[in-house]
Chains A and B, each alone.
Chain A
Amino acid sequence: MSADTRLRELLSEMAPPPEIAEDQVVAARAALHAAYRDGAPPQPSRRWQPSFAWATAAVAAVVVAAALLLPGASPPVDASLAQIARATRDLEPEQLPAGAFVYSQEASTSLASSQVEGGPQLFYLLPETLDQWVQGATEQRDTTVGRPTFFNSAHETAYYAGGLDLEDGVGQTRTDRHGDVSHLPDITKWSDDPATLRDQLAAELADDVDPVLDEDVRLILLVEELLDPSLNAPPLLRAALIEVVGSRGFDTTDMPDGSVLVSVAYEDPGLGSLVQELEFDEAGFLRASRLIAIEPGPDLPVPADTAIAQSTWSRPYIVDGPGVLPADR
């Protein structure tokens, strides 16, 4: 048996090919027939042509890399972010004692949707609190689901009448423990030299082409991943990441408490006009992330200016073990 065949078998054990319900086929056929009736002339591909997407990303990567390779051509860094980067670079890196864990808390709210059988699709904002303890590949994650908020009372009534709060686990805490392979990215491969890091990020983005998101947004999301407090990135890496973000010409806002908000606006064909924000505190820690629907598109039945995903993070704390909360939190 070939290795490919064995992999297929293993994945089939985990995710067997499902039966397709007849009503699903009927609905899909009806959607296709509606497209026939619309009579729209066949269009050339815009979003779904990989060759175009790859080419665009490759050109972008080359442009970024070329700008970096020019002697003395380091892009200017936004003054507020440069100040945070300087302050962060001066911090001492924290050593993780043997047996200790990094604890952090993320409070998030995200747009969710559910359906009672035969009923309409219900949309609401579902809050979750994630307490994480990480030591290498050993993790404990406690996820507590809060009460959702709704955009109209009919949806709220249908939600609770249909018992969807039980399906969402509202009010419950789920604990996941892993001790083998971390789901978190490996931050040791990233350089803390801003110029080298910029090249690494450009290469990563060129390698991870998403036909929907533009490069600025993908950069922001990648930085968000790498600055996840549970990774407890060292100060030099945090500073370098913030410098790279600061050199892209994004809008920034100085917040009263010394943190800086970075904003990137973009358009999504289904979701509409969006703004992705990241907030860094004065020590270069990621404090918050928000995705705001400024003008929601057809796939997004929410009021304008709704934050359809937002997270705030604690700083990382070193604690003695999983389940242990920091004393000074």
Chain B
Amino acid sequence: MVENTPTDGEAIRASLQTPEAFEPVFDRHYGAISKYLARRVGPDTGAELASEVFTIAFARRRDFKSDAENARPWLYGIAANLARRQARTWRRRNQAGQRAEAGNVIWLDPAAEDRIHAERVRHVLIAAISKLKPAEREPLVLHALSDLSYREVATALQIPVGTVRSRIARGRKRVRRSLIAAGHPELAEELAGEGDDDVG
């Protein structure tokens, strides 16, 4: 017998009557959301926030658009907000500068230092992304750290897909400029050219 697994949309709609019907949404997306948040804010805080994403999503499930079947962009949107809130909180509390700086963009795994060509390159790239305006940084980082398409990033951040495309292109251009200014034209060159041929 073939058991029909409900789509996210079906599961969320059913959960309005039967809370447990929400479970497939957790099963399907927890891993990806958790990894994304761990890469944004570190493993410990990421685990806390990933859990929060799903309790928030459950509490706000009436917000889920009834015509959407895939909850992934919606969940990433909640996760991105939580990551930004966390970075703000760190900055607001003036915690160790290095941590707050990383929290604005991406959590640097100390064990990964050997895997990047040089510590300086690592610092330069992260600093260049950190200096982007949030409006450009968020789509760029969300697209880079998730497997969301431009259209899904647009849904997650609730901005038009054309805006996502232009902000990512602009953000990448600024990053390239910073890399050139910092003496890394070879790295800038790697980020040249077109973005994903992705219309979602």
- Interface positions of A (Cβ within 8 A of B): 2-8, 10-11, 13-18, 20, 24-25, 27-29, 31-32, 35-36, 39-40, 42-45, 47-51, 54, 108, 110-112, 128, 130, 141, 143, 176, 178, 180-183, 207-213, 221, 289, 291, 308-311
Contact = CB atoms under 8 A, between A and B. Distances in A.
22 contacts: A2-B196, A4-B195, A7-B191, A10-B190, A16-B109, A20-B38, A24-B50, A32-B51, A36-B58, A40-B59, A42-B61, A50-B81, A50-B157, A50-B159, A110-B94, A176-B98, A180-B183, A181-B178, A183-B97, A207-B134, A208-B134, A309-B94
B143 interface: yes
Nearest to A308: B93
A15 B107 contact: yes
A3 B50 contact: no
Interface residues of B, number: 84
Contact of A28 (B30, B92, B124): B30
B145 interface: yes
Interface string B133-148: 1110000100111000
Contacts of B109: 14-16, 18
Interface in B176-200: 178, 181-183, 187, 190-198
Contact of B51 (A2, A10, A31): A31
Interface in B143-168: 143-145, 157-159, 168
Given A11-B144, A13-B112, A35-B59, A18 B195 contact: no
A1 to B, nearest CB: 9
B85 interface: yes
A44 B98 contact: no
Contacts of A176: 98
A48 B81 contact: yes
Contacts of A5: 196
Given A3-B193, A5-B196, A28-B50, A211 B130 contact: no
Given A17-B35, A181-B127, A207 B26 contact: no
Contacts of A29: 26, 30
Contacts of A50: 77, 81, 157-159
B113 to A, nearest CB: 9
A291 B94 CA distance: 10
A27 B47 CA distance: 9
Given A3-B193, A51-B158, 10 more contacts: A4-B144, A14-B112, A15-B145, A20-B31, A29-B26, A40-B59, A43-B59, A183-B97, A212-B88, A308-B93
A77 to B, nearest CB: 26
Contact of B128 (A6, A47, A48, A181): A181
B19 A36 contact: yes
Interface in B101-119: 101, 106-109, 112, 115-116
Nearest to B87: A210
Contacts of A16: 109, 112, 115
Given A36-B20, A50-B81, A128 B35 contact: no
Given A4-B168, A44-B62, A15 B134 contact: no
A14 B190 contact: no
Contacts of A3: 172, 190-195
B88 A18 contact: no
B178 A32 contact: no
B1 to A, nearest CB: 26
Contacts of A35: 19, 55, 58-59
A116 to B, nearest CB: 13
A196 B88 CA distance: 26
A14 B51 contact: no
A128 B60 contact: no
Contacts of B31: 20, 25
B170 interface: no
A183 B127 contact: yes
Nearest to B140: A7
Given A14-B106, A28-B51, A211-B85, A128 B96 contact: yes
B26 A48 contact: no
A27 B30 CA distance: 12
B116 A13 contact: yes
